[in-house]
Chain A
């Protein structure tokens, strides 16, 4: 069993829809990261959080440390949001552990 599990693996949406991507992990962590990867490979860091909730534009990330669960929400989705979204966790004094990603396609 992977230490970081994401769901769903694939997600399609119509422009304007509210999107939720989930991440569950089984290890103790000091932080959780949400990353965005576009075709071509480059990864962009969206959020790093260790508690509560963070918001940046149309993106919202939440984390529940007790339940070892985080969600990434996209409000008013747009075709340019189409990408792979990756959850990664930082165990204390250890390397990043990545999920396998959620492939999101938003259609006009």
Chain B
């Protein structure tokens, strides 16, 4: 069974551009969460989606948006990229959205903004 898959694995963008990151959860998992991990820090929560509805949003500007599709895959969009958006973006899936449900992480997408 495939784990959580994210694409692309690496990405370089210039300031002001827009980026779309993709995540496919483990089969049967209906909850997807997105995290941003800046170098040397722990991951920070961005969004959680469950059954195509937004269940939670972290302290990120409106330039960050996401959605979940009927097959439970998800996209994270970031507009008007800033240098500070350079980070590893992690996706995690779980069967349920409750925080005490085990989450499974993807390999991440490393975004570099130049």
Contacts and interface: CB of A to CB of B under 8 A. Distances in A.
Indicate, yes or no, whether A interacts with B.
yes
Interface of A: 4, 30-31, 33, 35, 40-45, 48, 50, 86, 88, 90-101
23 contacts: A30-B100, A33-B102, A40-B107, A41-B88, A41-B90, A42-B107, A43-B90, A43-B92, A43-B105, A44-B105, A45-B102, A45-B104, A45-B105, A50-B100, A86-B42, A88-B43, A92-B99, A95-B33, A96-B33, A96-B45, A98-B44, A100-B41, A101-B42
Contacts of B41: 100
B58 A95 contact: yes
Contacts of A43: 43, 90, 92, 105, 108
Contacts of B104: 45
Interface residues of B, number: 26
B73 interface: no
Interface of B: 33, 35, 37, 40-45, 48, 56, 58, 88, 90, 92, 98-100, 102-108, 110
Contacts of A31: 99-100
A57 to B, nearest CB: 18
A25 B5 CA distance: 31
The 9 closest A-B pairs by CB, nearest first: A98-B42, A90-B99, A43-B105, A41-B108, A42-B107, A31-B100, A30-B100, A95-B45, A100-B42
Contacts of A42: 105-108
A95 B33 CA distance: 9
A96 B90 contact: no
A45 B103 contact: yes
B42 A99 contact: yes
Given A43-B105, A45-B105, A91-B99, A98 B43 contact: yes
A41 B43 CA distance: 11
Contacts of A100: 40-42
Which of A41, A90, A91, A93: most chain B CB closer than 10 A? A41
